[in-house]
Amino acid sequence: MNNGTDNRTSRARRSPDAVNRGTPVIRDDTAERIANRGRRNQASASRTSAERADYASQPTEYIQTAQRGEPTRARQTSQAPNRTAAGNGDRNGASRPNAAPAQNGMVRQIGAVRDPDRRIGNAQRRMTPVQRPESRTPAARDGLAPQTREEKRLVREQKRADRLERFTENHLEKWDRQEKAESRWQKDIVRVKSGVDRPLLILAIILLALGSVMVMSASYPTAVRKNLSVMYFAWRQIIFLGMGAAAMFGGYIIPYEGPRFRRVFPIIAYVLSAILLIVVIFAGISEGEAQRWILVPGVGFTVQPSEMMKLAIVMVLALYADRFRKQREDATSLGGKYLYNVLFPTFILGFSCLLVLVGRHLSGTMIVGAIGFFLVALMTDRKTPVWWVFVTVGVLLAVAAAVYIIAVPYATTRFMSIINPGADLRNDSWQSTQSLYAVGSGGLFGVGIGESRQKYSYLAASHTDFIFAIWCEEFGFIGAIALILLFLAFLWRGYRVAARARDTFTMLTAYGITTHFAIQMIGHMLVDTTYLNTGISLPFFSYGGSSLIVQMFEVGILLRISKHFYKKKSELERDELRRNAGLD
């Protein structure tokens, strides 16, 4: 047959008689097709809402059909005859005359139009989740929304359990791998008790000796300017050093491994620090804009409670992690894990920062917040996402800092001097500029001990907040690198002691104390070498009684914790062989 005949056949349809006889009789029914399409559209639009709802309320068949992989069109063509008649016939429900029976006894629908009810059914199928019958509430199994308070409570609990189950399934393999590695590690070690960490003690003594020399070198121009003795600050620092030695010994003899003691001492330290910080608000003495000190009557010394809070926040968070360990690990929902692992310790940290911030001690607030942030992230259970801590604590500290900077003019001035240091070099940025001059004047080997020029009325706080700049000027770049290496060695020994601690409380206490030293060291060096205009003391170096005594007390705690450590079984066997051979 030629192309013309094929085109005519494509626009026409064979009659039933022609199909039976097999003769190619062709008739044109274009007008009839157009009329039938219009009648079908009107019939589809005239269906009642009840029929549509009845048709759309069968998502289970669609789900089962999709799971079996059967096409939905096959289900559409196999519906009841009354639906086919209503959809394909005239308004009275008569069947369409031009629907010819096909082979194999199947009903063909020629020129069928998409049924809008089918679209409703597909949308219902996509929105209906496939749930396990045993995981549904009674109302959900019946296809009804929860009505009573008890049913709503069950729905909420089920949702929480489902979220926890999904989270657990996603991380179960990683947790199992970590637990197996820790179990293998525990089997290969033996807990032992021995002497203190000698390298840690030696490094602390070296740093204290160097710090005392630098206080004497950097402070005598300030003493002369204030009409005091040349050795005034040096002698007082030696007195503080003796008091700190007593504090170090006290920190060493305190039995932190005793459960009764660890329940009492951290709470006493925290409550005492909080009370003194409140006293500072009403009866404290100020130096400049900050009100941070309490004068001890009859002695002539001042106490800075914020230094005590730096240690108290470490111990109280360690106590919290130890006492609520079961609640943190056995929480049955993600909300419970967030509550015990993040929210409660964050509340303790926020209250501590608020007490320090009221005294306008911005740098102390930053240090307390950084220490607490590190400990909260460290104490979280392995099944708790760490980013919860970063978001919660980070946002809290950022918002508090922003509010304080906007509300307090003194903080606003400091912040603007950091952002734009060149705006006022003679006032707000004077100290930072002179500190940079001191660091740059040292060169490679420095100008020599006691020969600094910037300490003569250029740096007002040369023996406290800018003592590292004087060290760089007198000992140069080589001396600065040597001092940094000494501090890094001290921090390494501290973190090593923390990693080998015997339990959760002592481990977190050692980590927090070492982190305190690290934050103050890094912060002080950043202040002295940049335009970060705030006051942070350098551990063991800066002049001050409260900070030095607290820091030496913390060293005593580290030495006490270092007595309990572990060794691998292979190391113990090797040591025993050496002793038997007379090599040790």
What string of DSSP letters covers 104-138? GGPBP-TTPPPPHHHHHHHHHHHHS----GGGS-H
Give me the mean pLDDT over the 474-503 stretch.
Answer: 93
Residue 240 vs residue 406, higher pLDDT: 240
> What gap in Å lies between CA 240 and CA 190, rounded to an integer?
40
- pLDDT at residue 502 above 90? no
At CA 289, angle to CA 287 and CA 293, rounded to 5? 45
Please list, residue by residue across 91-126, b when 16 or more beta carbons sit within 10 angstroms of its beta carbon and e when fewer do: eeeeebeebeeeeeeeeeeeebeebebbeebeebbe
> What gap in Å lies between CA 209 and CA 447, rounded to an integer?
21
- Quick: pLDDT tens for 176-195: 676 677 666 666 666 677 77
Give me the mean pLDDT over the 350-379 stretch.
Answer: 88
Q: Which SS3 state, helix, strand or coil, does residue 380 take?
A: coil
At 12 the pLDDT is: 42
> What gap in Å lies between CA 504 and CA 257, rounded to an integer?
11
At 161 the pLDDT is: 73
At 416 the pLDDT is: 80
417, with CB counted inside 10 A (0-12, 13-18, 19+), is buried
Q: Per-domain residue ranges for the chain?
A: 3-133, 196-424+480-516+529-571
Residue 544 vs residue 175, higher pLDDT: 544
Cα 177 vs. chain centroid, distance in angstroms? 22
Q: Looking at residue 339, what DSSP letter applies? A: I
Helix (H) or strand (E) holding 31: helix 30-45
203, with CB counted inside 10 A (0-12, 13-18, 19+), is buried
Query: pTM (2 decimals)?
Result: 0.68
Mean pLDDT of the chain: 75
Longest dimension (CA), the chain: 131
Q: Which SS3 state, helix, strand or coil, does residue 71 take?
A: coil
Confidence band of 395 (pLDDT split at 50, 70, 90): confident
Q: Looking at residue 189, what DSSP letter applies? A: E
Strand order in the sheet with 285-287: 285-287, 290-295, 302-303
- pLDDT at residue 513 above 90? yes
Confidence band of 60 (pLDDT split at 50, 70, 90): very low
- Quick: pLDDT tens for 89-143: 444 444 444 444 444 444 333 334 444 444 444 444 444 444 444 444 454 444 5
